[in-house]
Structure 1
Amino acid sequence: MATDQFKRYLREKSDVTEADLNVIMSACQVKRLRRKQYLLQDGDIWKFHCFVAKGCLRTYTVDLAGNEHIIYFAIENWWAGDRESLTTGRPSIFNIDALEDSEVILISDANFERICSEIPSFKNMVNGILQKSFLVAQRRIHTYISLTAEEKYLQFLETSPHLNTRVPQSMIASYLGITRETLSRIRRQTVKKN
């Protein structure tokens, strides 16, 4: 159950009390997504903080030629959403959809901010997540502009082995900014080396 998963996560990541959990859970809305169902579409305004309790989501854009550019995958115990749209109130440039049947916990921004002000351990957890997210984004930008296609794939396998078996190879190629053909060639070469 999504709420049980979220409670386990909160207990593991912060020092919340049972009273704190009751406050947090009262602000939560569970949303179930079927495979390929959108959580957010380009042009909509994102208004939530989203915890993935079950499944796998992807965040991506589509260019004028119809090519998808995946910027993020989110699996169990990860967070998803469009922070820019949330903080500015401007329409999102991203789509977020489910790659598997998924369950997410949504908390409105107003409730999230209230929880942060009322429960210091929750706020500390959120600040830690934001800091880690910034570092991951920084590393990803460096990877994208500095490494070869093969190095990108090998780093992906090292940092995200759990995604390699859950996400189609075409989406991994999009995430890495390489073609499917290049990824296939790299994968064949990697198998031969091992």
Structure 2
Amino acid sequence: MIAISDKELEYFLSHCLEKRFKKNEILSKPLITPNEIFFIQKGMIRVLITDEEGVEHTIHFAQENQFIADYSAFMLKRPSVYSLQTLEDTFVIVMPKSIIEWGYQELQEGDKLGRLIAEYYFIYQDTPIKNMFALTPKERYDSITEVFPNIHNRVPQHMIASYWGITPVHLSRLKNQRK
């Protein structure tokens, strides 16, 4: 994403943590102000929100080579509304807010990195919203593997249905139409 010297990279990474999470572990919970961003090296994470009746709604998925956090809460220093849950054994780099702020100040292209991450986050949030209203359920089903390759083998179908705002039965019908 940016040009970075070996010395800068070494310092940055020395302040990050490598962490493994087992399937179904929670990385971040609602009502807690997030203080880190995760970079996924291996695995898949679901972003979800639980409504007042206790029903979980999948907001997004993140997989290898993607950043994930409740970025708005992270930036505004407010409690999160989302949970982040692993969907398989997952290996992440945990980047604390302090090292990210150091990067903005000290990396030669730190501001550029921050801008690129913010742009990525905007696209990450905007695309599913746009697709929800611009594409038919079948078109959304057909396009999901472009964004998340092999998702149907990695994620339970009811979570994919929740992500698209359809019932698992409707998702099953869409899958059968493709055969």
After TM superposition, the score normalised by the length of structure 2 is 0.91
Instruction: Please list the CA deviations of residues 117-147 of structure 1 after superposition, one character each: whole Å capped at 9, or x if unmatched.
Output: 1113344233223213313422221111232
Instruction: Please list the CA deviations of residues 141-170 of structure 1 after superposition, one character each: whole Å capped at 9, or x if unmatched.
Output: 111123221121112133323323211111
Query: 2:86 is matched with which residue?
Result: 98
SS at match of 2:154: coil
Query: 1:16 is matched with which residue?
Result: 4
Output the CA distance in 2 between the equivalents of 1:83 and 1:181.
32
How far the C-alpha of 1:64 sits from its partner, in A, is 2.1
How far the C-alpha of 1:74 sits from its partner, in A, is 1.3
SS at match of 2:37: strand
Output the CA distance in 2 between the equivalents of 1:159 and 1:120.
31
Query: 2:42 is matched with which residue?
Result: 54
Query: 2:163 is matched with which residue?
Result: 175
Contact residue 57 and residue 99 of structure 1 kept, 8 A:
yes
SS at match of 1:161: coil
Instruction: Please list the CA deviations of residues 94-138 of structure 1 after superposition, one character each: whole Å capped at 9, or x if unmatched.
Output: 111111111211122122111121113344233223213313422
Q: Structure 2: 5+ residue runs without aligned partners?
A: none
2:103 equivalent to 1:115: yes
Q: Structure 1: 5+ residue runs without aligned partners?
A: 1-12
Contact residue 47 and residue 82 of structure 2 kept, 8 A:
yes
Contact residue 56 and residue 102 of structure 1 kept, 8 A:
yes
SS at match of 2:54: coil
Contact residue 46 and residue 84 of structure 2 kept, 8 A:
yes
Output the CA distance in 1 between the equivalents of 2:157 and 2:29.
23
RMSD: 1.6
After TM superposition, the score normalised by the length of structure 1 is 0.85
* Letter matched to residue 148 of structure 1: T
Output the CA distance in 2 between the equivalents of 1:161 and 1:54.
14
SS at match of 1:19: helix
2:4 equivalent to 1:32: no
Query: 1:79 is matched with which residue?
Result: 67
Output the CA distance in 1 between the equivalents of 2:160 and 2:23.
17
C-alpha spacing 1:123/1:166, structure 2 compared with 1 (3 Å): farther
2:112 equivalent to 1:130: no
Contact residue 63 and residue 148 of structure 2 kept, 8 A:
no
Identity fraction in percent? 31
1:133-172 correspondence to structure 2 within 5 Å: 133-172=121-160
SS at match of 2:138: helix
Query: 1:188 is matched with which residue?
Result: 176
Instruction: Please list the CA deviations of residues 9-51 of structure 1 after superposition, one character each: whole Å capped at 9, or x if unmatched.
Output: xxxx332121111111121012221111110112211111211
Output the CA distance in 2 between the equivalents of 1:132 and 1:126.
10
* Letter matched to residue 105 of structure 2: S
